């Protein structure tokens, strides 16, 4: 079974310890939203950079590798790879966590455009956006398990 959250089993464990509403996604996201700011940052930081080192050295989780491949991130030209590397570095420098987007809902061009646009956001907006994108990733992973 695919882990729903990257290297963060605490989310599912906490959801399992609570009464279920019958909506697994809502129950999981309620745990995320109730988590402390530090826990939310740790959840965001548990995600790999897109087309980053983990993709090259094959240390991505199976789910992340498949998701990145679905957007063509496993087949980048040298110029595209360089652009991802530059934007990943700028994003991490600005926000101190990796750029998160549900890659299954976009493509390379859409990801690059979102990276460029979101670099203009403030940190609080990006934390909220990253959490929302994690929610989309988890929603699709739950659908895959159904």
pLDDT tens string 34-76: 999 999 999 999 998 887 655 555 667 788 878 888 888 888 8
Tell me if 135 sits within 8 A of 25, measured CB to CB. yes
- Average pLDDT, integer, range 116-138: 97
Q: Residue 75's Cα: distance from chain center in Å? A: 19
Q: Is CATH 3.20.10.10 the classification given to domain 9-145?
A: no
Q: How confident is the model at residue 81 (pLDDT cuts 50, 70, 90)?
A: confident
Overall pTM > 0.85? yes
Q: Give Cα separations from 12 to 16, 26, 94, 126 (angstroms).
A: 6, 12, 30, 23
Instruction: Give 1-19 pLDDT, tens digit per residue.
Output: 668 998 999 999 999 999 9
Instruction: Give 103-116 pLDDT, tens digit per residue.
Output: 999 999 999 999 99
- Compute the 3-state secondary structure of the chain and give helix, strand, coil in percent, each to the nearest 5: 65, 0, 35
Q: Is 80 exposed, middle or buried (0-12, 13-18, 19+ CB in 10 A)?
A: middle
- Average pLDDT, integer, range 91-101: 97
Tell me if 90 sits within 8 A of 55, measured CB to CB. no
Q: Any idea what DSSP says for residue 72?
A: T
Domain boundaries, the chain: 9-145
- Average pLDDT, integer, range 125-133: 98
Three-state SS sequence of 2-70: CCCCCCCHHHHHHHHCCCCCCCHHHHHHHHHHHCCHHHHHHHHHCCCCCCCHHHHCCCCCHHHHHHHHH
| Catalytic positions | 47
């Amino acid at each position: 079974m695919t882990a729903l959250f990257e290297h963060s089993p605490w989310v599912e464990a906490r959801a399992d310890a609570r009464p279920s509403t019958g909506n697994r996604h809502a129950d999981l996201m309620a745990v995320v939203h109730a988590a402390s700011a530090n826990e939310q940052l740790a959840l965001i930081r548990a995600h790999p950079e897109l087309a980053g080192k983990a993709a090259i050295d094959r240390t991505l989780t199976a789910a992340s590798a498949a998701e990145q491949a679905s957007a063509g991130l496993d087949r980048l030209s040298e110029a595209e790879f360089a652009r991802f590397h530059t934007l990943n570095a700028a994003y991490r420098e600005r926000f101190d966590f990796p750029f998160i987007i549900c890659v299954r809902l976009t493509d390379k061009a859409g990801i690059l455009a979102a990276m460029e646009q979101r670099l203009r956001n403030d940190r609080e907006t990006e934390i909220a956006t990253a959490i929302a994108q994690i929610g989309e990733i988890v929603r699709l992973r739950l659908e895959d398990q159904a």
